[in-house]
């Protein structure tokens, strides 16, 4: 039995589950998320908890069991608390600013890089070298952070670029004479 898949998902107050064949919708105080799930997985709601069961012990069903439970759990956390990723910008002249809802980055190019905010994502720039990405979908927050980081990933010689908060960049020694 999957250790993750067999754990029940507690439903906090203010959160509602709508279970349909192949689709689960979760509504909460921060918004609404829906996800397609495999029709093989049996999802049931009872006593303020949601459980996921698999039909057989085949490898594919075992893999889907834990995945489905984790996706549903992430949806519950998203509609109640939300998710956020923090990015740090390092480098002389590298900075971020908000232009309306979009994020504008100065990253040493001859032009500023503009990143539009996808639906359900909001940017916050507390300092010109820090960016906070918030949203209710864990996947969308992580994807948006990865797109921003990809604009100028940290380089190993001087460490300049965009990195996740707390990320360690392995530094290399430069040329030797």
Q: What does the radius of gyration of the chain's CA atoms come to, in whole angstroms?
A: 21
Closest CA to 54 of 46, 66, 45: 66
What does the alpha-carbon distance between residue 26 and residue 49 come to, in Å, rounded to a whole number?
13
- Asked whether residue 38 falls in the same domain as residue 61, the answer is yes
* Residue 16, beta-bridge partner list: 27
- Whether 170 is covered by a domain: the verdict is no
CA–CA gap between residue 93 and residue 105 (Å, rounded): 10
Which of 143, 132, 146, 131 is CA-nearest to residue 94?
131
Q: Please report the pLDDT score of residue 174 as a whole number.
A: 85
Question: Domain range holding 153?
Answer: 83-164
Check residue 21 and give its pLDDT: 87
pLDDT at 131: 97
Per-residue pLDDT of the chain (177 residues; tens, 9 = 90+): 458 889 999 999 999 999 998 899 999 999 999 999 999 999 999 889 999 999 999 999 999 999 999 999 999 999 999 999 999 999 999 999 999 999 999 999 999 999 999 999 999 999 999 999 999 999 999 999 999 999 999 999 998 999 999 999 999 998 887
Number of domains composing the chain: 2
* 101 and 74 within one domain: no
Residues composing the chain = 177
Q: What is the pLDDT of residue 88?
A: 96
Query: What is the structure's pLDDT at 176?
Result: 81
Residues 102, 116: one domain? yes
**Distance (Å, whole) CA 44 – CA 154:** 45
3 located within any domain: no
Residues ≥6 apart with Cβ < 8 Å to 68: 5, 37, 38, 41, 43, 52
Q: What is the pTM of this model?
A: 0.89
- pLDDT at position 2, please? 59
**154 CB contacts (<8 Å, ≥6 apart)?**
90, 160, 161, 162, 163, 167, 169
């Amino acid at each position: 039995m999957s250790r993750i898949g067999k754990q029940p998902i507690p439903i906090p107050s203010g959160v509602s589950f709508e279970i349909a064949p192949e689709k689960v919708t979760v509504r909460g105080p921060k918004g609404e998320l829906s996800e397609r799930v495999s029709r093989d997985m049996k999802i049931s709601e009872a006593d303020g908890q949601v459980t996921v069961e698999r039909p057989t012990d085949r490898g594919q069903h075992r893999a889907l069991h834990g995945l489905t439970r984790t996706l549903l759990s992430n949806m519950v956390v998203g509609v109640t608390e939300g998710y956020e990723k923090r990015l740090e910008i390092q480098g002389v002249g590298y900075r971020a600013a908000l232009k309306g809802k979009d994020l504008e980055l100065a990253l040493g190019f001859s032009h500023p890089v503009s990143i539009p905010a996808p639906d359900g994502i909001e940017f916050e720039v507390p300092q010109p070298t820090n960016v906070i990405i918030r949203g209710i979908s864990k996947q969308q927050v992580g994807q948006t952070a990865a797109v921003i980081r990809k604009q100028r990933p940290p380089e190993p010689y001087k460490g300049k670029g965009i990195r996740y908060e707390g990320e360690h960049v392995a530094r290399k020694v430069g040329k030797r004479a």
